[in-house]
Amino acid sequence: MTDIKSMNLSELTAYLVENGFEKFRAKQVLGWVKQDAADFDAMKNIPQKLRDFLKDNTYLACAEIVRIQRSKLDDTVKYLFRLYDGEYVEGVLMRYHHGRTICISSQVGCKMGCTFCATGKSGFSRSLTASEMIAQIRSAEIDCGERISNVVMMGMGEPFDNYDNVIRFLRLVSSEDSLCIGMRHITISTCGIVPRIRDFADLRLQCGLSVSLHAPHDEQRSRTMPVNRRYPITELMNAVRYYIDKTNRRVTFEYALIDGENDSDESAAALAQLLKGLLCHVNLIPVNSVTGAEYRKSSIKRQQAFVNILSSAGINATVRRSLGADIDAACGQLKRNYMKGDV
């Protein structure tokens, strides 16, 4: 079956013409897609022959909201989305002064196995299509009744492990045929898939790049991030420099502060040395509670000491405010395993 929501206008036109239909039908079909048509029978200005063809050969990808959790601490909302094949992903809607931001998933589960992340502990099923990523945004917009202006790909999955679909998503979601969310309002987070960082740099897209670093030394990073054994820090930093040189865009480094693991003065000094001279920002994240992991977040005093060391070395750093922690919607808390009674 063909996922027509992942096609742009020219691709859908070619597909329909190849199957004996008029060119202009593609624009009609996409018009219904933009109106959130739930099935092909709703497309009233489409001839029955074409509707029957679409029903037999294509499908309309969806992200059906089956559970909503609203934080009592802030204005954060966590959604459980059911996909067309019965798989589930989670997404998080946040409110900032500049508008609504949604954190979406790119895979059902994750292969990367980071020890502080619930998604990695819940296994991997499959990657999402471009249209399934867009569907998460659109479903959340319909629920909240507001336009979503910013997207972060920091939910379930490793975006660069689903590279082709993610690039297709970026091109689609920013187009007039879709949600018209400019690439400058989209950020992709990666744990450090080095070849894909270089490929991404070559595209020179205008979206943001965030790199999950979490340690300044290989031995330390490999304990919590298995990906480091394949792409150690030296290779990762070379790829980041290549990205900055190609795009002249600032990179954000995510750094989860774990008590007694990576939050010492020595770690801060080593991190400052590692990032010296780079066009970057460090986003410090007090590690969140994850079932099966015994990590504890660094104390407020230790967090501030870490920031001070980086700042004194000329490295821009801030501590991220944790949103939605009471509904397991904070960084690293999304998961793919659900009991039947959960939905």
Query: 29: domain CATH number?
Result: 1.10.150.530
> From the candidates 90, 132, 158, 261, which is the catalytic residue?
90
The tokens of 51 are what? Answer: 């509707």
Tell me, yes or no, whether 314 and 255 share the same domain: yes
Tell me, yes or no, whether 182 and 294 share the same domain: yes
Tell me, yes or no, whether 111 and 12 share the same domain: no
CATH assignment at residue 223 = 3.20.20.70
Tell me, yes or no, whether 138 and 179 share the same domain: yes
Q: Which residues of the chain have pLDDT under 70?
A: 289-293, 322-343
Residues making up the chain, counted from first to last: 343
Tell me, yes or no, whether 34 and 178 share the same domain: no
Angle between helices 233-247 and 194-203 (to 10 degrees): 0
Model pLDDT, residue 287:
86
Tell me, yes or no, whether 170 and 140 share the same domain: yes
Tell me, yes or no, whether 133 and 33 share the same domain: no
The tokens of 166 are what? Answer: 């993610």
Q: What element of type H or E holds 137?
A: helix 130-144
HSE on the CB side for 60, CA within 13 Å?
Answer: 18
Cα four-point dihedral sign 189, 194, 199, 204:
positive
Cα 255 from Cα 293, distance rounded (Å): 17
30, 59, 88: which is the final residue of a domain? 59
Model pLDDT, residue 341:
46
Tell me, yes or no, whether 90 and 40 share the same domain: no
Pairing of strands 208-212, 251-257: parallel
The tokens of 314 are what? Answer: 């000329």
Residue with tokens 């509707």, as numbered in its chain: 51
Tell me, yes or no, whether 41 and 99 share the same domain: no
HSE on the CB side for 57, CA within 13 Å?
Answer: 11
Give the global pTM. 0.92
Model pLDDT, residue 333:
55
The string of DSSP codes covering 242-306 is HHHHHH--PEEEEEEEBTTTT-SHHHHHHHHHHTTT-SEEEEEEEPPP-TT----BPPHHHHHHH
Domain that holds residue 31: 2-59
Q: Would residue 280 show up in a list of annotated catalytic residues for this protein?
A: no
Which residues are CB-neighbours of 307 under 8 A, at least 6 positions away? 284, 317, 318, 319
Model pLDDT, residue 55:
96
The 10s digit of each residue's pLDDT in 94-103 is 988 778 999 9
HSE on the CB side for 238, CA within 13 Å?
Answer: 7
Using an 8 Å Cβ cutoff, are 149 and 99 in contact? yes
Q: Would residue 180 show up in a list of annotated catalytic residues for this protein?
A: no
Query: Quick count: other Cβ atoms within 10 Å of Cβ 135?
Result: 23
Cα 315 from Cα 271, distance rounded (Å): 9
Model pLDDT, residue 38:
87
43, 59, 75: which is the final residue of a domain? 59
> From the candidates 110, 117, 207, 331, which is the catalytic residue?
331
Cα 226 from Cα 299, distance rounded (Å): 26
Domain count, the chain: 2
59, 76, 100: which is the final residue of a domain? 59
Q: How far is CA 51 from CA 23, 37, 48, 85, in A?
A: 15, 13, 5, 21
**Coil, strand or helix: which one is 160?**
helix
Tell me, yes or no, whether 106 and 194 share the same domain: yes
Model pLDDT, residue 337:
53
Nearest partner of 153 among 212, 113, 202, judged by Cα: 212
Cα 6 from Cα 131, distance rounded (Å): 5
Using an 8 Å Cβ cutoff, are 310 and 271 in contact? yes
Tell me, yes or no, whether 70 and 103 share the same domain: yes
Tell me, yes or no, whether 84 and 55 share the same domain: no
Query: Quick count: other Cβ atoms within 10 Å of Cβ 83?
Result: 21
